[in-house]
Amino acid sequence: MFEKSFSAEDVRRYYNDWNDRYEKSYGNIIQAFRPNNDEALIEDLMISLNLKMGHHYLDAGCGVAGASIPFVQKTNCQISGITISDEQAKKAKQAIRSLGLESKINVMQGDYHHLSDLYKTNSFDGVFFLESLGHSYAPEKVLSEAYKIVKPGGFVYIKDFYIRESSDKQMQKRIKKVIDNINRYYKYQVMSLNPLISHIRKMDVKLDFVKSFDFQDDIRIRSDFETKNGIVLFDGQAEFMPADWYEIKFTKF
Ligand SMILES: C[S@@+](CC[C@H](N)C(=O)[O-])C[C@H]1O[C@@H](n2cnc3c(N)ncnc32)[C@H](O)[C@@H]1O
């Protein structure tokens, strides 16, 4: 069900090599599904996350802390970040230092498949994955790890995309081809929604929501990135949506 092909080490090398390319197109928020400006994206995420002053969160797959920095500036919460890429961890630390936010954000290089070895049990008010969980070869294991380090009453939030389902066999074949291309180019392992939700429901949690985003996707940055870097997802065929984007949030009992 969750047969995966890329290791965390593959993803580490990928982001070390590609971080500059991402920064050139995306700036410091490496998120493909976005409204037409960063401010609106941050505002929208903050509504879903409901971050609180003084609370401590984990940004799991934090990139160069491009989302965590405004989160802290706007709410005065505390954030720990983890990225598999040493290059991103270095860049994140530089940005945090230059803004004098060292006492508020702490980023380290590490693998989110082992969160309970890296952080204390029941220690976070929330853990969020912003377009990062889909890199995992075992997302259900990562969520179980996140569950352990979240306090009772704390949440886990996931922004990601899931293979689109179609009753038309031909269409499903085309979807699969494009998803294979996405996985190959982006070192991703696009998830299926139902098995993930089923796993979450077997944990001792309240499923707060599974919902679509309130904003319209602006594809300009993603297109720019793909054109500049020779990424061809549709093999010259007409484009269509091969995946659906959802926000998922659950709270630990
Ligand atoms: C598309 S980027 C998103 C970055 C960030 N969330 C943002 O909003 O800018 C995916 C992130 O997931 C991280 N990631 C992927 N696999 C990981 C793993 N096994 N452990 C920790 N981070 C991981 C990558 O290092 C990268 O920072």
pLDDT value at 45 more than 70: yes
Query: What's residue 17's pLDDT?
Result: 98
Pocket test for ligand 1, best of 84, 116, 142, 186 (most atoms within 8 A of CB): 84
Kindly report whether the global pTM for this prediction surpasses the value 0.95: yes
Query: What's residue 4's pLDDT?
Result: 53
**Average model confidence (pLDDT) across the chain:** 97
Pocket test for ligand 1, best of 28, 48, 83, 191 (most atoms within 8 A of CB): 83
The minimum-distance atom of ligand 1 relative to the CA of 15 is 25
Query: What's residue 2's pLDDT?
Result: 41
pLDDT digits (tens, 9 = 90+) for 64-113: 999 999 999 999 999 999 999 999 999 999 999 999 999 999 999 999 99
Pocket test for ligand 1, best of 11, 38, 88, 191 (most atoms within 8 A of CB): 11
Ligand 1, CB cutoff 6 Å, lining residues? 8, 11, 15, 29-31, 61-63, 66-67, 82-85, 88, 111-113, 130-132, 135
Measured CA to CA in angstroms, residue 4 lies from 8, 116, 191, 200, 231 at distances of 11, 22, 10, 19, 21
How far apart are alpha carbons 54 and 121 in whole angstroms? 19
**248 Cα–ligand 1 center, Å:** 17
Identify the CATH homologous superfamily for domain 8-162+189-231+241-252: Vaccinia Virus protein VP39 (3.40.50.150)
How far apart are alpha carbons 209 and 120 in whole angstroms? 26
Pocket test for ligand 1, best of 135, 182, 187 (most atoms within 8 A of CB): 135
Confidence grade of residue 5 (pLDDT, cut at 50, 70, 90): confident
Closest CA to 159 of 27, 37, 239, 41: 41
Q: Note whether 188 and 134 are within 8 A (CB).
A: yes
Query: What's residue 236's pLDDT?
Result: 86
Query: What's residue 153's pLDDT?
Result: 98
**146 Cα–ligand 1 center, Å:** 15
pLDDT value at 1 more than 90: no
Measured CA to CA in angstroms, residue 52 lies from 27, 48, 155 at distances of 26, 12, 12
Closest CA to 218 of 66, 33, 21: 33
pLDDT digits (tens, 9 = 90+) for 126-144: 999 999 999 999 999 999 9
Measured CA to CA in angstroms, residue 245 lies from 51, 78, 114, 194, 218 at distances of 22, 27, 26, 13, 13
**169 Cα–ligand 1 center, Å:** 33
**Residue percentage of the chain with pLDDT more than 70:** 98
Confidence grade of residue 21 (pLDDT, cut at 50, 70, 90): very high
> Cα–chain-centroid distance for residue 160?
6
Give exposure, 123-134, as e/b (b: 16+ Cβ within 10 Å): ebbbbbbbbbbb
pLDDT digits (tens, 9 = 90+) for 168-194: 999 999 999 999 999 999 999 999 999
**123 Cα–ligand 1 center, Å:** 21
Which residue lies with its CA nearest to atom 14 of ligand 1? 61
Which residue lies with its CA nearest to atom 4 of ligand 1? 63
Query: What's residue 237's pLDDT?
Result: 87
pLDDT value at 212 more than 50: yes
**171 Cα–ligand 1 center, Å:** 30
